[in-house]
A and B are shown apart, each in its own frame.
Chain A
């Protein structure tokens, strides 16, 4: 067995133990499946209902990814603009503080009134929730370059673009990636909330449906898939972070600015 396979096994072991315990407890206690289905039952249901689960998963994934990408792009661009323009900073800073405090989840019903029942309101909810960690942390990151580094660049007559690409952007990356991972997880939450509130598709919708019909095994199956989507996103971004920071990092990790 290779070292990395050993590592995976070590990480999976507690999870497997928990599932085994769960299986045993459900079987021995005889608890009704609509209250708590056993893991094997959930797995069976997942395989049986894959034709139902997959289209819903695809629908959720669409709003998650679209909203996430929109949040990352707009959050990053606005962060660059704000960190370079004092006027924009004065204009946006109070606004950002207020909007950050607004519970974005509570805006979901409003977005549904404004944008109907299609994919658009879900994407907007996802985008709104994922936007702020990107914006705030990127601003902090872009401003974190030490003044003596900037002076060194100015002493050799570097222009603003050079200072941005050679100093500010690489300095911001250790702040940017944790925000990216956080935004990805918030995107999944955003999509579920949007689908809970009003939707005829998506894993969130399916969970509500399964809940009403007391098909708890189907609810768990959907939950497993949502979690899988979140884990996959988080893992992919973690990999991207490690690859980029290997090139641009300084070996230290940054504290995420809390929301």
Chain B
């Protein structure tokens, strides 16, 4: 009843434009983190949340950060996204500071909680960034409708967040993050609060979206299997003070499907990273 009122041109989504199947995109350095760290002044003195962080992330890369709870994984995303300032070292996004990149709207954030405005419908939540950017045109709304269709929410556009399941709200959050075509997706345990089945569905969706344009994704999770399944590279963090202990390349074939989860190479990588985290 709700779904039929929007016809869709299949490949007209803007971030599809540079979609050229089979072409290997040249990669260049996009996020350059050098010796970065952040300390918080807490009640019991200074707390070093992250220190001596070095990482390079290239364009079109899907990189995950795994680590034990409280190791500062989320803090790294906030540092890169310009929501927090490093107290040591430096971070460059394509030659800009994180804050400059944030102001240039290069980041699409997806948080563990969907962070919906309860008084807005799904489509109006997706339109929030466009409104902030004074770009809430009819064309944008059209694109937002198609985005919602792409994340599997055709027919749910005018429902309110309370009428949607947790997984559906997270789909809206992904559509919202893509709606203004940011250069980089910063995802902070986006599927952490979902059940296993919903999580698998969203893995497939995320990879499908990512295959379309290979936008750079930085994905924080404590789920090692999830990180291996999705990523080109996995950065393993130590407990607090968090630093990157090891970097693992995931050379599993793409596109990845549910069959990938039973590949020996996949299982071996998961085991190896888990072992690294436990010790």
Contacts and interface: CB of A to CB of B under 8 A. Distances in A.
Interface of A: 146, 148-149, 151-158, 162, 166-167, 170, 247-251
Contacts, number: 55
A94 to B, nearest CB: 23
Nearest to B104: A157
B117 A155 contact: no
Given A148-B113, A250-B162, A154 B119 contact: no
B217 to A, nearest CB: 15
B109 interface: yes
15 contacts: A149-B115, A151-B109, A152-B128, A154-B83, A155-B81, A155-B83, A155-B107, A156-B133, A157-B132, A158-B132, A166-B132, A170-B117, A249-B118, A250-B162, A251-B118
Nearest to A162: B132
Interface in B97-144: 102-105, 107, 109, 111, 113, 115, 117-119, 128-129, 131-133
Given A156-B105, A156-B180, A157-B103, A149 B117 contact: yes
Contact of B132 (A148, A153, A248): A153
Contacts of B128: 152, 156, 166
Contacts of A146: 115
A251 B180 contact: no
Contact of A152 (B104, B109, B133): B109
Contacts of A251: 118, 162
A247 B119 CA distance: 7
B119 A248 contact: yes
A157 B105 contact: yes
Contacts of A247: 119
Question: What are the nearest 6 A-B pairs in CB distance?
Answer: A250-B118, A156-B129, A155-B109, A158-B132, A248-B119, A157-B103
A203 B222 CA distance: 69
Counting chain B CB atoms within 10 Å of each CB, which of A146, A154, A157, A167 scores highest? A157
Contacts of A148: 111, 113, 115
Contacts of A167: 117
Contacts of A157: 102-105, 132-133
A166 B132 CA distance: 9
Contacts of B186: 155
Interface in B62-114: 78, 81-83, 102-105, 107, 109, 111, 113
